[in-house]
Chain A
Amino acid sequence: MIEIKNLEKAFGKLEVLKGITTTINKGDKVVIVGPSGSGKSTFLRCLNLLETPTGGEIWFEGQQINAPKVNVDKLRCKMGMVFQHFNLFPHLTILQNITLAPISLKLKSKEEASEQARQLLKRIGLLDKANTYPAMLSGGQKQRVAIVRALAMNPDVMLFDEPTSALDPEMVGEVLQLMKELAADGMTMVCVTHEMGFAREVANRVLFMDEGLILEESDNPADFFTNPKNPRAQEFLSKVL
Chain B
Amino acid sequence: MDFFQIIGDYITKAAQGFADSFYQNFIEDNRWKYLTSGLVNTLLITAGALVLGVVLGFLIALIRTTHDKTGKLGFLNWLAKLYLTVIRGTPVVVQLMIVYFVIFASVRINQVVVAIIAFGINSGAYVAEIFRSGIMSIDPGQMEAGRSLGLNYRQTMWKIIMPQAVKNVLPALGNEMITLLKETSVAGYIAIRDLTKGGDIIRNRTYSPFLPLLAVAAIYLVIVLILQALVGRMERRLAKSDRN
Taking beta carbons and an 8 Å cutoff, which residues of A are in contact with B?
A: 48, 50, 73-74, 76-77, 79-81, 83, 85, 87-93, 100-101, 104-105, 133-136, 146, 149-150, 153
Interface centre among B146, B150, B152, B244 (most CB of A within 10 A): B150
Q: Give CA–CA (A136, B152) in the complex, Å.
A: 28
B159 within 8 Å of A (CB atoms)? yes
CB-based contact A76/B241 at 8 Å: no
Q: Give CA–CA (A83, B240) in the complex, Å.
A: 25
CB-based contact A135/B243 at 8 Å: yes
Question: A74 — which chain B residues lie within 8 A by C-beta?
Answer: 150
Question: A146 — which chain B residues lie within 8 A by C-beta?
Answer: 145
> Taking CB as reference atom, which chain B residue is nearest A81?
B148
Question: A135 — which chain B residues lie within 8 A by C-beta?
Answer: 241-243
Question: B167 — which chain A residues lie within 8 A by C-beta?
Answer: 91
Closest Cβ of chain A to B59, distance in Å, is 22
CB-based contact A90/B164 at 8 Å: yes
CB-based contact A100/B159 at 8 Å: yes
CB-based contact A104/B142 at 8 Å: no
4 shortest interchain CB distances as A-B pairs? A87-B145, A77-B150, A101-B149, A81-B148
| Other-chain contact of B151, A81, A88, A105 (Cβ < 8 Å) | A105
Taking beta carbons and an 8 Å cutoff, which residues of B are in contact with A?
A: 139, 141-142, 144-152, 155, 159-160, 163-164, 167, 240-244
Closest Cβ of chain A to B135, distance in Å, is 14
CB-based contact B141/A100 at 8 Å: no
CB-based contact B144/A87 at 8 Å: yes
| Other-chain contact of A50, B142, B148, B152, B160 (Cβ < 8 Å) | B148
Q: Give CA–CA (A79, B147) in the complex, Å.
A: 11
CB-based contact A85/B159 at 8 Å: no
CB-based contact A76/B147 at 8 Å: yes
Given A77-B149, A133-B241; 4 other pairs, CB 8 A cutoff: A76-B150, A105-B151, A146-B145, A149-B149
Closest Cβ of chain B to A237, distance in Å, is 30
23 A-B Cβ contacts within 8 A? A50-B148, A74-B150, A76-B147, A76-B150, A77-B149, A77-B150, A80-B148, A81-B145, A85-B141, A87-B139, A89-B145, A89-B164, A90-B241, A91-B163, A92-B241, A100-B160, A101-B149, A101-B151, A104-B155, A135-B242, A136-B244, A149-B149, A150-B149
CB-based contact A136/B243 at 8 Å: yes
- How many A-B residue pairs have C-beta atoms within 8 angstroms? Tell me: 72
Q: Give CA–CA (A79, B244) in the complex, Å.
A: 35
Q: Give CA–CA (A92, B241) in the complex, Å.
A: 7
CB-based contact A104/B145 at 8 Å: no
Question: B144 — which chain A residues lie within 8 A by C-beta?
Answer: 50, 81, 83, 87
Knowing A89-B160, A104-B159, the reply to whether A73 touches B145 (Cβ < 8 A) is no
Question: A90 — which chain B residues lie within 8 A by C-beta?
Answer: 164, 241
CB-based contact B243/A87 at 8 Å: no
Interface centre among A80, A92, A104, A135 (most CB of B within 10 A): A104
CB-based contact A91/B241 at 8 Å: yes
CB-based contact A76/B148 at 8 Å: yes
Q: Give CA–CA (A80, B149) in the complex, Å.
A: 7
> Taking CB as reference atom, which chain A residue is nearest B240?
A133
Q: Give CA–CA (A90, B148) in the complex, Å.
A: 17
Question: A153 — which chain B residues lie within 8 A by C-beta?
Answer: 149-150
Question: A105 — which chain B residues lie within 8 A by C-beta?
Answer: 150-151
Q: Give CA–CA (A80, B155) in the complex, Å.
A: 18
Knowing A91-B163, A135-B242, the reply to whether A101 touches B141 (Cβ < 8 A) is no
Question: B152 — which chain A residues lie within 8 A by C-beta?
Answer: 73
Closest Cβ of chain A to B137, distance in Å, is 13
Question: B155 — which chain A residues lie within 8 A by C-beta?
Answer: 104
> Taking CB as reference atom, which chain B residue is nearest A85?
B141
